[in-house]
Amino acid sequence: MKYLIAGLGNIGAEYANTRHNIGFVVADALAQEGKAVFVPGRLADVTRVKYKARILVVIKPATYMNLSGKAIKYWLGKENIPLENLLIITDDIALPAGILRLRAKGGDGGHNGLSSIIEHLGTTDFVRLRVGIGNDFAQGTQVDYVLGKWTKTEEEIMIPQVKTAVEIVKSFVSIGVERTMNVFNTK
């Protein structure tokens, strides 16, 4: 059984370790745990992780956040992966830093990456893991905040949560979205 796991972020050294790139961080951690290495592919860096007789095609779109849907649609088609086996990992300013929420479907919540995916797939019915990055910014400075680097305090909160996010991904591919939500969304 195959799954597409897509960590959202922006390519380029200037975006490394920014709040907006938490999807890339989780994808990297998943690949590292599976002893897999990302290689450049069409519209994304891609790797494969085997977990409990499942193949996880893990991608980091190279389209920049606002065009993530193009890469997601391409890789779903190329790998012939059904929509119910798609998991998007993304940042969320509506959640406090470090809070993790798995959802079976939903809107874009003002997130341009999710908006692009919804536009390209023509549906909101896909699983997403929302990683809280907080919203400690003044009005009109949201872009600077999400593209800003983690503070030391935020890093102390986020580093253990990256490991938990990897556990959520593995749970999703093992026992499904509903049971995984019941286990992890209550914590």
HSE-up of residue 82 (Cα within 13 Å, Cβ side): 4
Answer yes or no: are the C-beta atoms of 170 and 48 closer than 8 Å.
no
Query: DSSP string spanning 110-169?
Result: T-HHHHHHHHHHT-S-SEEEEEE------TT-HHHHHTSBPPHHHHHHHHHHHHHHHHHH
Catalytic residues, which ones? 20
